Chain A
Amino acid sequence: MQVPAPIAYERATSLSNAIELLSRHGPESRIIAGGHSLLPMMKLRLARPEVVIDINDLAELDYIRANSDHLQIGAMVRHASLMNSDIANRYFPIFREAETVIADPIVRNRGTVGGSLCQADPAEDLAAVFAALKASVVITGNNGSRTVPISSFHIGPYMTVVEPDELLTEVIVPLRTHVGSAYEKVERRAGDWGIASVGAMIVLNSGQISEAGIGLAAVRADHFRAVEAESFLLGKQPTADVIAQAALIASENCQPVADQRGPEDYKRHLVKELTTRALNRAIDKAREEGT
């Protein structure tokens, strides 16, 4: 039987109360959101917080809204809400495509956007999604809020720039026109973590690629991103040859490790194939929007 080690439990009543509780209990306290990564780690003693601070009552962090420039997603938005959000998916269908292959429907009822990003598992699908979308993350603590680009949010496996007395409160995605986005993932069985996953976002301007985002999960890409392939695409016409070259570049610029999910060369092969598919579909959708 797996049970967590003894803990104290606090339930935060508001964002400011959560920050106050984190400051009061110090570095041995941890936020618990959906708990679907933290509790399994606590059962295995991979995490041993002395105090867990439950933020599930913070309705103020559960919203998806758009203004004229940005989509804003609160940290407590569940996977299931993001998957079913008309507003988020109208701008970026990549959300629904990724969410349908993240875990299973019951886990998606609990796991949150903030928890996924803060967990920083190298296979975390939403990390690749937000990398492709070049999102920013709002982090809030005693000294107010700061906004960091997703490309400097993760500083290693299971590590982020969030300080012990801070919370991730919001993810911001800039809105674009003539944009298409898509997600591709190969897993061993339904509901499993990916062997490799690729998210793509393409903006077309007069038939040329004016912005490209490629996010990679499970293959140890720096900051979940294929920067070299993104740069290669800029200013080019999206021909089959250009896409094939970008996919090859993406597959060469990540560091997948052999594990029970497969050998390294197989994972690189998947990155190439999935990047091709995701780019093709993102480009098709960008064209549908008209240029």
Chain B
Amino acid sequence: MQVSMTINGEQVSREIEARLLLVHFIRETAGLTGTHWGCDTSNCGTCVVLMDGVPVKSCTVLAAMANGRNITTVEGLETNGELDSVQRGFIEMHGLQCGFCTPGMMLTARWLLDNNPHPTDAEIREAISGQICRCTGYENIVRAIRWAAEHESGTGHNITEGIGA
């Protein structure tokens, strides 16, 4: 069947098997390997992407169900070469070690801050409670998201002092 969706602002149309999962469509069909894929059982959350602005576990969505929808992956977080404040927070606060859980964590963090710009630590922990990090002990991830909240410049995509690249 033919599917067509917007991924990070670009239209992606492909002929696929109806059983294809969204995570594999993003990684293999669209070639965006920033989205990771781990447990396959909707437990680990590394496959989280935003679908119409809401985080979903893309291993548990058919690509066909995303037909016509708007997808944001970790590649879509930066704007014009400038990292999102969430990405900068993960750098500043050492929010990752191996980086396997990081794409899902960052997208959930983006969604949290878009809806709750000043979350408490408890709210941050609750937001990421469906995602597993086997490295950091979560403490630095919470700090990274808190850092992002404190350094958000209004829209969250309007970062003035670029870091990296």
Which residues from chain A sit less than 8 Å from chain B, CB to CB?
Answer: 1-9, 11, 32, 35-36, 39-40, 43, 52, 54, 56, 103-107, 109-110, 190-191
Contacts and interface: CB of A to CB of B under 8 A. Distances in A.
Given A9-B1, A40-B41, A110 B61 contact: yes
Interface of B: 1, 17-21, 24, 40-43, 45, 48, 54-57, 60-62, 64-65, 67, 108, 126-127, 129-131
Contact of B56 (A5, A6, A40, A106): A106
A2 B130 contact: no
Given A36-B60, A40-B60, A110-B57, 5 more contacts: A32-B65, A39-B61, A56-B65, A105-B129, A109-B55
A3 B18 contact: no
A260 to B, nearest CB: 15
Contacts of B56: 106, 109-110
Q: Which of A3, A7, A9, A109 neighbours the largest number of chain B CB atoms within 10 Å of its CB?
A: A9
16 contacts: A1-B40, A4-B19, A6-B19, A9-B62, A11-B64, A32-B62, A40-B41, A43-B40, A52-B18, A54-B62, A54-B65, A106-B130, A110-B60, A110-B61, A190-B129, A191-B130
B42 A7 contact: no
A104 B61 CA distance: 16
B138 to A, nearest CB: 12
Contact of A107 (B20, B24, B130): B130
A107 B18 contact: no
A104 B130 contact: yes
A278 to B, nearest CB: 22
Given A9-B1, A106-B45, A54 B64 contact: yes
Contacts of A4: 19, 21, 62
Given A9-B64, A56-B65, A105 B126 contact: yes
Contacts of B65: 32, 35, 54, 56
A109 B111 CA distance: 12
